[in-house]
Amino acid sequence: MNELSRRHFLATGAAGLIASAARPAESPVPAPAAGGVAEPARTLPVAGEYDVAVCGGGPAGVAAAIAAARGGAKTCLVEAQGCLGGIWTAGLLSWLLDYGNKPGIMKEILDGLAARGARAAAPDGRPTNGYDPEAMKLLLEDLCAAAKVDLHLHTRVCSALRAGDRIGHAVIESRSGREALAAKVFVDCTGDGGLAARAGCGFDFGHPETGLTQPMTLMILVTGIVPEEIRAFYREDDRGEWAKPKDALRAEMERGGRSPSYAKPSLFRLRDDLFALMANHEYGVRGIDARDVTAATLRARREVHGLVDGLRKLGPPWAAMRIVATAAQIGVREGRRIRGLYTVSTDDLREGRQQKDGVCRVTFGIDVHSTDPKKEKGIEKTGFKAKPYDIPLRALIAKDAANLMMAGRCISGDFIAHSSYRVTGNAVRLGEAAGVAASFAALAGIEPADVPWDEVRRKLDPSAS
């Protein structure tokens, strides 16, 4: 071998040997079943070990994480979006419901919005249900930072690893790859009950007779309309009568050439000429099916742009109306209802039941958005009105996993009850209760079902002590 050949071998052959050594040996992959592939087993890095891990950073999850951290528990919060708030922020539902009787973290959020000049107000200065969603993002981040909650944004929960009747790890996926989070107690605030389902917990889904769920809605923000010129088409808050302005707005949309898929379209004023608009219904889709959610989002965005274009073509007062943003996530009203130690029932609403371990007083009525557009495109009638009722702590404790709690719309309840308690004011209170109980259980080395009720009540309502 001459000198030139020797140098060529060293430059190419040696490099090839290094590259070969750097590559891990490939494991044989089993033959997949028809239509599937087998994923090789792998060891996941543990990204953190916590007392309490909260999955889902919407209204319920934020409250749960703050309450758990304030209780002394090392706490993390996992959220798929790049901001906290869920439907409040990424979903642009800038309108609070069933929040007036909620003390604790819900009141802190209201006070925080007011202090930042981010809460909507009527012409007489009275606060309304509306708020600025961008200010809400920062407020929630500040509250979590002050409580020393460890945030994992842009991160999805994709699996759960069990050890007997307990969850040992939540498996997460992000730009960092696939990792695991260890915790003593987990709180599912994903809305759709994703962590619980992946941990093998039983759940209910949709109407018990048809399996259908309430339709999804894509919220949008609009500007370029003068409040004084469109008074007939909205109300400042929930004290006024809403049927007439909604019907008037639908008639305007139809005059513009398009009839909305939601028969009761609603404008909510947030500040100055900034409004949130709810005018879309996506029927017959499942919130736990990514293909359904994708198709619903595409249809919804096309529809709301068409509705606004139609209004604008009518001329004043709509001529300058423009869409500021469509929501990053479509509003999913129904996902899984995880089975708990207690199931909130239609009879609870009908009778206005109080519970010895009640953690949330619900005052919102039955609100079933029609599942069948052939029969109704608004709100279904149920034949009775709900009385204020309690949600007990037991409905927040999973039946099938000893160290799992739920908060928000995925708690244990039936179809009718869910339509009432699913709104965000209740989600915050439920999250706060779950966080209090989870932190106590983790630090005491017991399961959530064994947490003394007096301890939860004392932290949720110090004035009652």
For residue range 417-429, what is the model confidence (pLDDT) as tens digits? 999 999 999 999 9
pLDDT tier at 237, thresholds 50, 70, 90: confident
Question: Bridge-partner residues for 413, per DSSP?
Answer: 344
CA nearest neighbour of 192 among 367, 326, 55: 55
Q: Is the pLDDT of residue 324 over 50?
A: yes
By the 10 Å C-beta count (0-12 exposed, 13-18 middle, 19+ buried), 453 is classed as middle
Q: Is the pLDDT of residue 32 over 70?
A: no
User: Which of 16-30, 51-65, 76-90, 121-135 has the lowest average pLDDT?
Assistant: 16-30
pLDDT tier at 366, thresholds 50, 70, 90: very high
Q: Is the pLDDT of residue 75 over 90?
A: yes
The pLDDT > 70 percentage for the chain reads 92
Q: What is the mean pLDDT of residues 281-292?
A: 95
Q: What pLDDT shows up at residue 141?
A: 98
Q: What pLDDT shows up at residue 26?
A: 43
The pLDDT > 90 percentage for the chain reads 84
Contact 418, 200 (CB under 8 A): no
User: Which residues, 6+ apart, have CB-to-CB distance to 96 below 8 Å?
Assistant: 110, 129, 130, 131, 424, 425
Cα angle for residues 89, 90, 96 (degrees, 5° grid):
35
Sequence length of the chain is 465
Q: How far apart are CA 435 and CA 441, in angstroms?
A: 10
User: Which of 14-23, 130-139, 346-355 has the lowest average pLDDT?
Assistant: 14-23
Q: Give per-residue pLDDT as tens, 190-227.
A: 999 999 999 999 999 999 999 999 999 999 999 999 99
What domains are there in the chain, each with its CATH number? Answer: 46-211+334-464 (3.50.50.60), 220-326 (no CATH)
Q: What pLDDT shows up at residue 463?
A: 73
Q: What pLDDT shows up at residue 30?
A: 57
User: Which residues, 6+ apart, have CB-to-CB distance to 433 below 8 Å?
Assistant: 67, 359, 360, 393, 396, 407, 456, 460
Query: Three-state DSSP class for 164?
Result: coil
> What is the DSSP secondary-structure string of 74-100?
-EEEE-SSSSS-GGGTTT---B--S-T
By the 10 Å C-beta count (0-12 exposed, 13-18 middle, 19+ buried), 14 is classed as exposed
Q: Is the pLDDT of residue 459 over 50?
A: yes
Q: What pLDDT shows up at residue 138?
A: 98
pLDDT tier at 342, thresholds 50, 70, 90: very high
Fill in the amino acid letter for 276: A
What is the residue-averaged pLDDT of the chain? Answer: 92
Q: Is the pLDDT of residue 391 over 80?
A: yes
Q: What pLDDT shows up at residue 12?
A: 40
Q: Is the pLDDT of residue 308 over 70?
A: yes
Measured CA distances, 32 to 26, 27, 29, 159, 178 (Å):
17, 14, 8, 21, 22
- 214: tokens are 């309430």
